Structure 1
Amino acid sequence: MVIARGQPTVPAVQQAAGARDAETRAARDAEARAPRLLEQHLLGVARMAVIALNGHGRVSHWSNAAGELFGVDQEHAVGRSLTTLLRLPQEHRGAFVPEAFAAVWCGACFVSRVDDGELTEVAWWVYPIERPPADADPGAAGIRVLAIATDLRRLRDEGPGLGMGDVLVVSPSKGSLPASTGVRLLRVEPALVPITEDDTARLGRRLAELLPLMGPVASEFVSERVLEMGYPAVNLSVTVRLPIVPYWGAMPRALRIRPRAAEADRRLRRSTPSSVPKPRPTKDLETMAVRERFTFLGEAGQQIGSSLDHFQASRALAEVLVPDLADFVAVDLLERVAAADWQPPAREIDGTTTMRRVAVVHDDEVGRWDDTVPEGEALVMPADTPFVEAMRTGRGVHVPRVSRERAEQICAPFTDRDLRPLITGRALLVMPLIARGQVLGTFKLLRKPDRPAFDELELALVEELARRAALCIDNARLYRREVQMVQELQRTMLPDDPPKVAGARVCFRYRPAGQAAQVGGDWFDAIPLPGCRLGIVVGDVMGHGITSAAIMGQLRTAVRTLATQDLRPDQLLRQLDTLARRLGEDYLATCLYVVYDPVARRCQFANAGHLPPVLVSPFGDTSVLAVPSGVPIGVGDEPFETVEAVVEDGSQLVLFTDGLLERRGRSLEDGYDELRAQLTGATRSLDRTCDLLLDGLGADDPADDVALIAVGLDGIPKEEVAVWDLEAEPSMVSRARSQVAERLADWGLEELSDNVQLLVSELVTNALVHGAGSISMRLIRGNALLCEVADDGHELPYLCHADATDESGRGLQLVSFLAERWGTHRTETGKVVWFEHPL
């Protein structure tokens, strides 16, 4: 039979075996005493772990609750030493060695779980079951020590009520097995006093003290049954009224009611005449203090938890404490926590742990401590300071009055400034910030010398606030890390810098959604194509989150790969749609693909369910291009269509995703009207155009991703392009070299003539030998010198290895060596082989 009883400062545990109803008179007499006694002794709901050790210090009983608390089952725990089974702190291991089995020990410490290493704050009560004789062997077998453990955090959080402990009946001769005679009745409670006498009357009186509603008659009956049977075979049910603190509405936040208020109230009563109204009783003041405590905690928790930024949550923590509870508050977080690092916070805190001061709030004059304790400063605290002690032990450190000697010790590491005026003579309270078993940092509270030290009510209040604030800060840190992860994933899948191509200028902007859950799959790209052309793509994957960002990366890579094959826009979207349907049903996206030819001054468009682009003429007029809408990528079974539009030099083409236009209360048509109004009269600067669109359309904190790309369609002047039609005969090779040399001389590029003539000779010869039909050559002076040789053959040449006896295969090797870049691509009538030579 296990019965629990607590004290005001420790958790209470009760598990009773029952009995039949007591006599009516005894129950009535006990009923008057029950509320008062139970209010003193019943404090908390917790599952109690019961562990028994034998004379060798090894586990002989391991309850299910112990397995849940420490992460190891009974099979692996029984027979092992508790000091090696659990990762106990060095200072607490002495309580579980056979030499200390005659002493009672109570305390708390952080213990790492065996299965996952998570830190758990455990409260311990260790009691000797039987004091061995002086001449007895200290390592004798049998149960010698009973250890009770529980999760201290859960014990604090669960609130008033009863705790349940496991049943353990101990027999002197048979260990933990039931016995019919000589059974020892153990009460699992913080103030355990083992009953060693076989005295039914004494046991009954003790049981009546624990459970007043039973009365002495019923208590004696229960004792007789338990001692007679040797195991808990009686069921006991007791109904009690637990103390409840009701909600009385909002109260002022200030918490200045302290124990001295009761003494002041008594003095006031003695000095006040009977005709004067008496002040509020002390009991009312205590009730108000409790109500104010809950009100303060509720308001402070709401203010701290209202932000998803761990820096703002830290500042809110400091602001709610000043000036009600302190005159100076500073919040220091571990460097990894402040940086929202991917790695978890350090588990071992020592004098080398780096911290960062993230918030400082005080009620002194403005700027008073800015130079002494600046925000954002990196700190390394020595191990002997209260700050490291609080993080290592997991408990607050309270110094009621900081002496000069203590101030010298605390301020010694700061050799570049004098912190003694800040803390000398003040009350200091350092609280750790611990969430999910991990230390996040500390916050320190200071009171001026004219204010008293922190009392018990305030210490309990700050401790509870520290737990809530730590959870809010950790949630904000994890949220920030999630946002950074999604944004970094998306950023790595988007282009870094716009490409530099002849005849076109590119500028783009990307704004992620304001919420991490809304970050999605908007993408854009500008792809240089052969012939100085430019491929432009903008798309939007349906959905949000990491999955959409990953799909976006795959589709962008696919578009870049398909673009190198120089497909028509409709053919490219058809290939992309086929690929998306093969990858999965969730691969749905809208996409707009454009190819701009600066020589022909035309754009080719193909659309897959995306918003049409806007074209700005050189004179500032705007128009929404009539591009067929099409169906989204991944739907399938619908054809795509390519349309062409002739553009003037100096025009601007603007492509975007729906996040730029769609807003609550604004239709898509209204968004287009505002967009065109912003673009009317746009300047030549693409950067300014993009910024005006984002600012003017309210994209500072968008609900959806915004992808915007603006292209300046400048064209390549006609005098920078030379085109020749060549006859398919051997003599055309020498004529092609002469024509190229003449044009290079006109452009002032004579120094390139030798290399370019040699490269042209190889390409023309290759077209003459391996090509078919008519042959043409084009020379374009842009960012580099581009030479293209086209024929009607469909077989693409490729680079191969030529042995010493081979008569061919060296031409493309020479081109690859002398040219900066070279390549081939198909056309509607044949193929093109090209190379680029730097100017």
Structure 2
Amino acid sequence: MTELSETHDDPFAPHLAALAVLDDRGTVVGWNRRAQELLGHPDTAVIGRPAFEVLADPRDLPAVRDAAASCRRDSGWFGVLNVRHSDGRLLEMGLRAQALSRGGHSREWFLAGALAVDVLEWQRDRAVLDGLYRRCPIGLVVHGPDLRLLRVNRAIERFSGVPAAEFRGLPTGCFLVPDDARRAVDRVRQVMETGRPTVYSEQFVRLEWDPARERVAMVSSFPMEDASGRVLGVAEMIEDITERHRAQRRLGLLDQAGSRIGTTLDVAETARELAEVMVPHLADHASVDLLRPVTCGGELAQALAEPVVRVGVCSVGAQQAGPPHPHGEPVEFGPDTPQARCLAEGRPVLEPVLPPDWYSKEGHQGAHAPALGAHSLIVVPVAARGLVLGVMTLWRSRRPDPFEADDLTLAQELASRAAVAIDNARRFTQQQQTAFTLQSSLLPRTVPDQSAVEVAMRYLPASAAPGLGGDWFDVIPLSGARVALVVGDVVGRGIHAAATMGRLRTAVHTLASLDLEPDEVLSRLDDLVDLLAAEQEAAGERPVGEQVIGATCLYAVYDPVSGRCSMARAGHPPPAVTAPDGQVELLDLPAGPPLGLGGLPFEARDVELTEGSLLSLYTNGLIGERHIDADVGLTKLCAALTHPADALERTCQAVVDSLVPSRPGDDVALLIARTRTLPPDDVASWRLPPEPASAARARALTSAKLTEWGLEHLAFTTELIASELVTNVYRYAGGPATLRLIRERCLVCEVSDTSHTSPHLRRARTTDEGGRGLFLVAQMAERWGTRYTREGKTVWTEQPLAGTST
């Protein structure tokens, strides 16, 4: 017997109840086995004894006497009393008493008892069963094994309009249209054959008496079995959820729109998302047409005079009327079309019924009906912040029911939500264009002419982030044939980040012209970032004490004469060096704090770079994308740099292909430099003692070397420059001087000493005996300057090689 059938069995049934018979004096004269099982008293212990004495508790005697009196008065009684068990316990039992006549005035009493909890459960089950058939608002249908109806409840009577009594014996699905009736039969048969219930199955049905209206029913089915497992039929719970389903569908569409529309700051993508949300839940076809300035981030002051561009289209299951209109191309709406009226007036249009020849009328061809047979139309404005950005058009052709007022309200709500996202995308596009123009003007456009390194560069702006970033790179020629390689990244995005990047890049150029060491350059940049932050705080552009301006930077200076590279970094990823044999190493440079923290030192480190080595500098956008771990990114970077002999542009592209996704989430700057060294024959160096004769010695050495190089035409000026610089060392430095000549793009003349005293250019008076040396040097050289080292300083000059003899 199943659990359900046990629950519904009558606890007072003869095979389940404890039975006893009492004579008119209350003496037990009958006692069955079930009574012995429940109360523990064998029949020999109770028969012939007063029931009050054996079974009743003395404390309950008043209640027992009242029950006995009621029983004599009414010839029957039902109630709950405490009955004594043989072990002394009291059991709460439900009791039924019925008088049995023996003739004359003599009577016996038939007692049936069951545990009170079983009686209560049985009463509840009876109440539930009665409620299911008489009061339950959910329909109940019982199908027999022959697929005919056994019984239905009052809810089915109200749902179908047929009295419940008339359903008995009718075939399953009798009140549905034929197609739906066949599906109902198949569903019941499957449950009956498999024994597996179905729970909350949504069924779209039409009733026989109202076939034009589609309803939605929630159906749960389960098999009914007897104690032996034989199938007695199938019971189905059926609830009409048509209105709830429609409301949930509208709410679901609103929720879906919230998660699907506006996922990117891209106008066309947002328009496509809007069209795709509409189909097929609300319409069979949808198009979104926007004014051209909206699609390209323009202003909307005179937008209504601009062409309309179709940017979002979605259709299902219908043949298009003519070739599909290409996305992004202008469309023209006739003056009398709903789209034209909607654009001009900013009000929605609902055409629930369209004549068959509506789209063939003059002027309506511009409406671009997407399918033959479209019978209903909605046009709503795509408007945000008081501006009409375009229109959304919805058609129905496959589903027979026309658009209703609720559909128009829903379309307006969805179009309004999408319009805000589209306008945000328009504004973002406008800001992106401004920032990109600014950033493009600030980044280097060409690699300056220099002999130290061969360079390849890449800059990839983020495609999904709100605004361009502040990544930058630079190649800056320095004195002595050296070159500075710089990569940096400003915190933040947009115009402010691009402007800050421009200021820092300008500062780096200025500091590089001073020939400062890399750690000194970063220290000066750190001071500048602190100054910019203070300016923002004073202007009220940021809260006091909150650091919003910051940057990372890596500054490297490579000397092609010595092959040494000095580098320092401020919170920036470490550079990668590829040796000529293909071994790749991430240089262990002191990390240093990011720029803007202030007060913390930076440390430079020198490394030897073999000619033909690759030095790769990059920003964290290359290795720090959200889809990969930074360590994984560094591993991929090293793997892409293992071919130093390849063309630099090819290597640069290989790095981008390996690490940068099609839509990077952060800006990427990459700078790869292949090192060169100057031939030893192009460099000459002499050490001169601190004595008056050193000036003449410098002239002689310079003249001889320039003759050897075929630069006799520069001998006079160079001799004079070398003589003056060496004389200054003898007079003011008090130590030995080092004279060095370098032949590369220009002729470089350098004089180094151990003094940190800075030479100053001044115009000597006519009465002065000296002070004209540097003035003459500046007049004869194209460029000149001073750079400082830990050991002293170097005064250098550059002269063009024009007119070199061959």
- Normalised-by-shorter TM-score class: 0.5 to 0.7
Q: Do the aligned residues in 1 keep the contact of 2:291 with 2:303 (CA within 8 Å)?
A: no
Cα-to-partner distance string for 1:776-814 (whole Å, 9 max, x where unaligned): 7655454x33332436595657598999xxx99999799
Greater relative CO (CA pairs within 8 A, separation 6+): 1
- What is the aligned counterpart of 1:744 among 687, 710, 717? 710
Residue in structure 2 matched with residue 410 of structure 1 by the alignment: 363
Partner of 1:334: 291
User: Unaligned stretches of 5+ in structure 2?
Assistant: 1-199, 215-237, 534-544
Instruction: Please point out which of 546, 558, 570 is paired with 1:608.
Output: 570
Rg (Cα) greater in structure: 2
Cα distance in structure 2, aligned partners of 1:575 and 1:516: 30
Q: Does 1:825 align with 2:793?
A: no
Q: 2:316, 2:259 → 1: CA distance?
A: 22
> Counterparts of 1:121-270 in structure 2 under 5 Å?
264=212
Gaps of 5+ in 1: 1-248, 267-279, 746-752
Match of 1:786 in 2: 747
Which residue is 1:392 aligned to? 344
Deviations 1:435-460, CA, capped at 9 Å, x for gaps? 12111111233455996764434333
How far residue 335 of structure 1 moved from its aligned partner, in angstroms, is 1.4
Task: Give the 3 Å change call, closer, same or farther, for CA 704–468 of structure 1 in structure 2.
Answer: closer
> Match of 1:531, SS?
helix
Alpha-carbon contact 1:660-1:699 (below 8 Å) kept: no
Q: How does 1:299-318 map to 2 (within 5 A)?
A: 299-318=256-275
Question: What root-mean-square deviation, in Å, do the aligned CA atoms of Structure 1 and Structure 2 show?
Answer: 4.8
* 1:777–1:787 Cα contact (<8 Å) kept: no
Distance 2:359 2:245 in 1: 36
Distance 1:620 1:644 in 2: 21
Structure 1 pair 660–321 and aligned structure 2 pair: CA distance change class (3 A):
closer
Matched with 1:10 is: none
Tell me which residue corresponds to 2:508.
559
Which amino acid is the alignment partner of residue 743 of structure 1?
W
Distance 1:707 1:425, change over 3 A: closer
Q: Secondary structure at the match of 1:409?
A: coil
| Cα distance in 2, alignment partners of residues 627 and 692 from structure 1 | 25
Query: How far is the alpha carbon of 1:721 from its aligned partner?
Result: 3.7
Match of 1:46 in 2: none
Q: Distance in 1 between matches of 2:645 and 2:509?
A: 30
Q: Is structure 2 residue 491 aligned with structure 1 residue 525?
A: no
Counterpart-to-counterpart distance in 2, 1:461 and 1:710: 55
Aligned position for 2:409: 460
Give the Å deviation of 1:743.
1.1
Structure 1 position 564, deviation (Å): 0.6
- In the alignment, which of 456, 462, 471 is matched to residue 420 of structure 2? 471
1:621 and 2:583 matched: yes
C-alpha displacement of 1:761: 5.9
Residue 649 of structure 1 corresponds to which residue in structure 2?
A: 611
- Per the TM alignment, residue 337 of structure 1 is displaced from its structure 2 partner at its CA by 1.1
In 1: Cα distance, 2:776 partner to 2:723 partner: 14
Distance 2:739 2:679 in 1: 18
- Which residue type is aligned with residue 390 of structure 1? C
1:537 to 471, 482, 486: 486
Is the contact made by 2:261 and 2:274 (CA closer than 8 Å) also made in structure 1? Answer: yes
Q: 1:346 aligns with which of 296, 301, 316?
A: 301
Post-superposition Cα deviations, 1:800-831, rounded to whole Å, max 9, x if no partner, equal 8999xxx9999979987x98x52323343341
The offset of 1:602, in angstroms, is 0.8
1:691-712 per-residue CA deviation (whole Å, 9 max, x = no partner) reads 3334434655555554332221
Distance of aligned partners of 1:549 and 1:764 in 2 relative to their CA distance in 1, 3 Å threshold: same
| 1:196 alignment partner in structure 2 | none
Q: Which residue of the other structure, out of 440, 456, 474, is the alignment partner of 2:389? A: 440
When structure 1 is superposed on structure 2, of 485-494 and 616-625 the one drifting more is 485-494
Residue type at the aligned position of 1:311: A
Q: CA deviation at 1:388?
A: 3.0
1:475–1:579 distance in 2 versus 1, CA, 3 Å: closer
The answer to which of 506-515 and 283-292 deviates more is 283-292
1:378 maps to which of 327, 330, 353: 330
SS of 1:684 mapped into structure 2: coil
3-state DSSP of counterpart to 2:363? helix
Instruction: Tell me if 1:356 matches 2:309.
Output: yes
Q: Secondary structure at the match of 2:616?
A: strand
Amino acid at match of 1:616: T
**In 2 relative to 1, CA 365–786 (structure 1 residues): closer, same or farther, beyond 3 Å?**
farther
Deviation by residue 1:534-589 (Cα, 9 ceiling, x = unmatched):
11223444566665555444333222211110012222233333333444473544
Secondary structure of the residue aligned to 2:514 is: coil
Q: How does 1:597-746 map to 2 (within 5 A)?
A: 597-662=559-624, 672-697=634-659, 704-722=666-684, 728-729=694-695, 736=702, 739-744=705-710
Q: Which amino acid aligns with 1:687?
A: E
Indicate the residue corresponding to 1:272 in structure 2.
Answer: none
1:835 equivalent in structure 2: 799
Matched to 1:459, the amino acid is L
Letter of the 2:587 counterpart: L
Cα deviation 1:199-226 (Å, max 9, x = unaligned): xxxxxxxxxxxxxxxxxxxxxxxxxxxx
AA at the equivalent of 2:786: H
- Cα 1:698–1:738 change in 2 (3 A) is closer
Give a deviation string over 1:338-392, Cα, whole Å, max 9, x none: 1123x3x23662xx3222221233346789755x621111346565554332112
Q: Residue 822 of structure 1 contacts residue 836 of structure 1 at CA under 8 Å; is this kept in 2?
A: no
Distance 1:471 1:790, change over 3 A: same
**2:519 equivalent among 564, 567, 570:** 570
Distance 1:299 1:639, change over 3 A: closer
Per the alignment, residue 505 of structure 1 pairs with: 454
Comparing 526-535 with 718-727, which one deviates more in the overlay? 718-727
> Deviation at 1:332?
1.3
Deviations 1:38-91 (A, max 9, x none): xxxxxxxxxxxxxxxxxxxxxxxxxxxxxxxxxxxxxxxxxxxxxxxxxxxxxx
Indicate whether 1:401 and 2:354 are aligned.
Answer: yes
Q: Classify 1:617/1:833 alpha carbon distance in 2 versus 1 (closer, same or farther; 3 Å).
A: same
Contact kept in structure 1, 2:319 and 2:372, CA below 8 Å: no
* Residue correspondences, number: 550
Distance 1:600 1:810, change over 3 A: closer
How far apart are residue 612 of structure 1 and its match? 3.0
- Specify whether residues 363 and 650 from structure 1 end up closer, same or farther in structure 2 by C-alpha distance, changes over 3 A only: same
TM-score, structure 1 normalization? 0.55
| Residues 603-636 of structure 1 deviation map (CA, whole Å, 9 limit, x = unaligned) | 1123334443222111011223332334443444
d(CA) in 1 for partners of 2:623, 2:370? 57
Preserved CA contact (<8 Å) 2:452 2:676: yes
Output the CA distance in 1 between the equivalents of 2:380 and 2:370.
21
State the AA in 2 paired with 1:509: R
Classify the secondary structure of the residue corresponding to 2:287.
strand
Q: 1:619 to 1:809 in 2, by over 3 A?
A: same
Q: Look up the SS of the partner of 2:590 in the other structure.
A: coil
